[in-house]
Chain A
Amino acid sequence: MADRLKIMTQKFSQSILLIITTAWLLVATYLIFLYAPQEMTMGEVQRIFYIHVPAAWTAFLAYFILFGASVAYLWKRSPGADALAQACGEVGFTFCTVVLVTGPLWAKPVWGIWWTWDARLTSTFVLWLLFVSYLMLRSYVLNPGRAATLAAVVAIMGFVDVPIVYMSIRWWRTQHPQPVIAGGEGSGLDASMWVTLLVSWGALLCLYAFLVRERLALAARQRELSALRREWSATAAKEERG
């Protein structure tokens, strides 16, 4: 009875979250396409910025939460922390992919090039590789009982590395400067642009939360299923003997 109530509450809160997310995304879409003014130099294509930048922020946030969950798992060994880490890994990877796809789509018409190896882009690509390696590791570990611990170790080492990577590449880029391309996205944003950007980020954060919770629910169902299977095979074995 208590279990069923728990599941029902969870489903209810997920539905509420879904409604909020959808509504917020619709509001954000309106702001992005109709409310935000057209950018002076770049034109309409600049609107990708309102997806691209919040997605990047969300991807980095996901990795941070992944790190936190990994530390919590090594400390407390709770399956919930491990499930959160995996969920953040998968959803964070998706958001990071969005960043790396929308980025070049924006760069080509505006800068004339698809890609450049400056500090920000290279670090984002490294983050993407860190997500990929994390997910690959989780899939390929031979003994599933060890996957959580090994993945946690890898996540912690990766997270500590991210600021070092960023600093080293930025440093390297000051030594080998590339032609100045754009004045940085943050430079001189109109107030209405800030509003659009932040609302857009809010929408993406809601989407992130919804996806992570869905993934957590899936992980919980899988855990229950394996527990039931184990129980069933144990009972079956006992009946066979007895």
Chain B
Amino acid sequence: MRNLKIIWAIFAKDLRLEWRHRETLASMCVFGLLVVFIFNFAFEPAREETLRLLPGLLWIAFAFAGILGFNRAFAAERENSSLEGLTLAPVDPGAIYVGKLLANLLFLGIAEAVIVFAASLWYNFSFLPVLGRFVLVVFLGTLGYAAVGTVFGAVSANTRMREVMLPVLQFPVAVPIFIGAIEATTGVLRGEPLSVYAGWVNLLAGFCVVFLVLSYLLFEYVLEE
């Protein structure tokens, strides 16, 4: 019960902090939009091409927006020694992890919504017919991505090259997420029946379970002095 309070406290703190200037959120959205924009020079948006490339495009945009977001989560803690404060607090480190994870999920989710909206506008593609499934698949993929991103964000906040260290650590580990998410998104956007891409959804779910548990257990080692 106490853990839930801690999780909420961390989550609310991050929200409040971000709400003050909304810098990170803005940069995530802008960066995502830029990726979607640049991508249009890569192909001629005829319908079939769009369907083929849109899932990959979306997840690349999500990936880069995520990098910005996960860096924020612990970079801000470096000032005023609040990272040490978190470490010293007599709370379950796993609760801190979940609180940070939820904040990351929310911010990345907002950025993703903006990216998807822009993509549907610029590539004349309507997500509405498959919205429910699309949201589910994107949520699963984002959850897995954020699960490792939160841990690696905390790890890279301790290094010299922190902005660069995060993608270096994260992308090799997140490969299954990208494969699964892009394949599942392709299935959803093409309107295929669930049985076609259910395997990929299972991969995403499995990855989430494994890495949420592992990260929860390992986070105390990341925070300790």
A interface, CB within 8 angstroms of B: 74, 122, 126, 129-130, 132-133, 136-137, 140-143, 146, 149-150, 152-154, 156-158, 160-161, 164-165, 167-169, 171-172, 175
Which residues of chain A are near B155, meaning CB under 8 Å? Answer: 137, 150, 153-154
Which residues of chain A are near B172, meaning CB under 8 Å? Answer: 126, 129-130, 133, 158, 161, 165
Instruction: Check: B168 CB closer than 8 A to any chain A CB.
Output: yes
| Pair A143/B169 contact, Cβ less than 8 Å | no
| Pair B171/A165 contact, Cβ less than 8 Å | no
| Pair A168/B215 contact, Cβ less than 8 Å | no
Count class of interface residues, chain B? 20 to 34
**With A140-B159, A168-B180 as contacts: A156 and B218 at CB distance below 8 Å:** yes
Mask of B203-216 contacts with A, CB within 8 angstroms, 1/0: 10011001100110
Instruction: Check: B192 CB closer than 8 A to any chain A CB.
Output: no
B residues 119-164 touching A (CB-CB < 8 Å):
148, 151-152, 155-156, 158-161
| Pair B168/A136 contact, Cβ less than 8 Å | yes
| Pair A74/B221 contact, Cβ less than 8 Å | yes
Which residues of chain A are near B199, meaning CB under 8 Å? Answer: 171
Known pairs A140-B159, A141-B159, A157-B173 / 13 extra A-B pairs, C-beta < 8 Å: A122-B175, A129-B171, A129-B172, A130-B172, A130-B173, A133-B172, A137-B155, A137-B159, A137-B165, A149-B221, A153-B218, A164-B206, A168-B180
Which residues of chain B are near A122, meaning CB under 8 Å? Answer: 175
**When chains A and B are docked, how far (Å) is the Cα of A157 from the Cα of B171?**
12
**When chains A and B are docked, how far (Å) is the Cα of A164 from the Cα of B177?**
10
Across the two chains, which residue of chain B brings its CB closest to A125? B172
Among candidates B151, B171, B180, residue contacting A153 with C-beta atoms closer than 8 Å: B151
Which residues of chain A are near B35, meaning CB under 8 Å? Answer: none
Minimum Cβ distance to chain A for residue B51 (Å): 15
